[in-house]
Structure 1
């Protein structure tokens, strides 16, 4: 029973970690503008994330190697440094977006500007990272994040033309009011929101922190193979509720309140309360993960002691890097740059950097010196190569689309 409970909590953690501010915003925006025509992008991103998270988790469980240790070892010091800098920049943007998302969730409850909440959010995040055990952060916010399942309930409660919704998902097309470049910009955004490098870093480093071994393989695989797809289903539900309610109104998404509007219309104040709690939990957990991932990446690259379980006196560089990341992320939000804009930039730039993280994971997952009989099989390699090719294409077109469409405007 204890093992089953641990697996269940792992699944909850995977769901809560997958749906962050990037998924919330991009799913809401694309549902309102394109109906279900970009469902395929969520499916592609979710499968790719599942494939590479399983590889990273297997490397952590069998070889005891987190991702950035592998990046430095396989890509070399110089190229690894470039990867590290890109990772830190993306994590900083992600953290700022998550802090802004937490603030907007609190703004919905209090009518107090999200900017006034930012310093308190930063203190709360740092307090959680400083005082709460690793497992508590994972499980507590993962369980609370299940409140986002209210979007699935709302979808079935709303008056939905299921034939039209299904047709839009299965026969994607660009609406007459939208340009093809804009359509593909948001496709890249959705894929980038699913294939987030910091989640791979956090997942593998967390596995090492928790002492995963070969005996942990079943739990790890269940977390990835079931948990991440469930997160993808949740993203599709958010897109669908926006398509049903916001698209007919011609409403564009510029705030979390608009993402939650379909739930409020379907289920009233109680439903909206669940949605707000889910927004808070998902963004808070993702903010903690982005902060820790920066500490993991930098410490692993330079060979410093790392781990949340270590006291600051035993891993001073790791804790200082986490603190500096938190301060810089908070300062970025306080510049008053729109958190939705930061979110879209973060997921798009993240899409451009995906191959830098995923390539060394694929390489090490085929190395028998590290994994022995647990190296990739034929199916895992085919999937890995296919999705690596997808991420390379995405990384090539990302920046041109960002500038061409002026950020999807």
Structure 2
């Protein structure tokens, strides 16, 4: 039972990272446009995030310090500041999207316009971070997020032609050469899978939990169960859209369209489950991104940080999170579409990936911090391959966004 609850950190990170508002929308969009033709990107994202999250968690467990704290010390303040600037701005953009996602989920449940729910969502995130223990937060949000399994159940109930779906996944270009929009969404999916805040939250959460070398088994369990689970849910979302929305020519622009396949397959009960799952996933992601905002700033500037410390003991850490939530409310108060904010955030996440993951690779190979737990040849081989992929995605993201008009 103890090991079952130990994996909750990975489940929360996976549900709030792989299946946040960005992944929900992007997978539904690509499923409705390309069927399972971009499943290979999700698989690549699963492997990539597992490689780097494992390094990040191992660094925290071995050194007892969060990744961002060591990055500044190991690579110097200039490189650390570049990493901080890119990661923090992307994190803030993602936090804004997640608050909007909570509001959209509450709109699905109540029929009340999302504008009314935005301040409620932000206040709820703040009160949970302020008053709730880390272990309770991760267990409740992660386990409720598992309601999104209803997408996998719905996919089976829809009775698809599995041969067709498999052919789309295995031979994505069998119908002809992919257009630029295809590659734009490939980059967006990859950015959504490897969003920087995931590793910052994961390593900082390991410090919050007090992991040591004895907990490396728990760390691997979190990574290699939690993240693949999130990836399987992502593929199920795309599959549902491919079966129901693709034949109808539906262009997904809202959460109501996203849940159509689930409602068609399982009726009101399934719809209730999916709404709970979406609310939990977006709320979990909002918790992660809010905490990650405080973590990155506090760790870079050397402030006292952590949920295990009272607000008066880590005042700047908690104040920075409040300010980030207020900024998110302010942006959404302009009337900007949360779905549009989400699409922009995943693309810019891809741009920031090298600044996040290269320093992690450097630290994971430094015996001063890692001792005998430095990366081996196999780990380094995978990490270098994915670092090249990350750099290609980062370089291609903005040009593809401009040339395709954000995939339109």
Provide TM-score, normalisation by structure 1. 0.97
Once the two structures are TM-superposed, the CA of residue 130 in structure 1 deviates from its matched residue by 0.8
2:197 is the alignment partner of 1:198: yes
Aligned to 1:266: 265
Q: Contact between 2:40 and 2:169, CA under 8 Å: does it hold in 1?
A: yes
Tell whether the 8 Å contact from 1:50 to 1:224 is kept in structure 2 after alignment: yes
CA contact (8 A) 2:181 2:407 kept: yes
Instruction: Tell me which residue corresponds to 2:81.
Output: 81
Partner of 1:12: 11
**In the TM superposition, what are the counterparts of 1:234-313 in structure 2 within 5 Å?**
234-313=233-312
Aligned to 2:317: 318
The RMSD of aligned alpha carbons is 1.3
Distance 1:175 1:124 in 2: 47
1:139 aligns with 2:114: no
Could you say which residue in structure 1 is the equivalent of 2:113? 113
Deviation at 1:175, TM superposition (A): 6.1
Match of 1:380 in 2: 379
Q: How many residues are treated as equivalent by the alignment?
A: 407
2:17 matched to 1:27? no
Distance 1:8 1:85, change over 3 A: closer
Mapped to 2, the partners of 1:77 and 1:109 lie a distance apart of: 46
How far has the Cα of 1:5 moved from its partner? 3.0
Please list the CA deviations of residues 21-61 of structure 1 after superposition, one character each: whole Å capped at 9, or x if unmatched: 11111110000011010001101111100110000000000
* Alpha-carbon distance in 2 for matches of 1:166, 1:175: 14
Partner of 1:103: 103
Q: CA deviation at 1:68?
A: 1.2
Deviation string, structure 1 residues 166-207 (Cα, Å, up to 9, x no partner): 00000012867x961100000000000100100100000110
**Length-normalised TM-score, structure 2:** 0.97
Q: Which residue of 2 aligns with 1:407?
A: 406
Please tell me whether the aligned partners of residues 82 and 355 of structure 2 are also in contact (alpha carbons under 8 angstroms): no
**Cα 1:175/1:320, change in 2 over 3 Å:** farther
Aligned to 1:50: 50
Tell whether the 8 Å contact from 1:26 to 1:190 is kept in structure 2 after alignment. Answer: yes
**Which consecutive unaligned segments of at least 5 residues does structure 2 have?**
none
Q: What residue in structure 1 maps to residue 183 of structure 2? A: 184
Map of 2:69 onto structure 1 = 69
The structural deviation recorded for 1:6 is 2.5
Deviation at 1:242, TM superposition (A): 0.2
Q: Distance in 2 between matches of 1:247 and 1:360?
A: 41
Per the alignment, do residues 84 and 8 of structure 1 end up closer, same or farther by CA in structure 2, a change over 3 Å counting?
A: closer
Change (3 A) 1:92 1:35: same
5+ residue gaps, structure 1: none
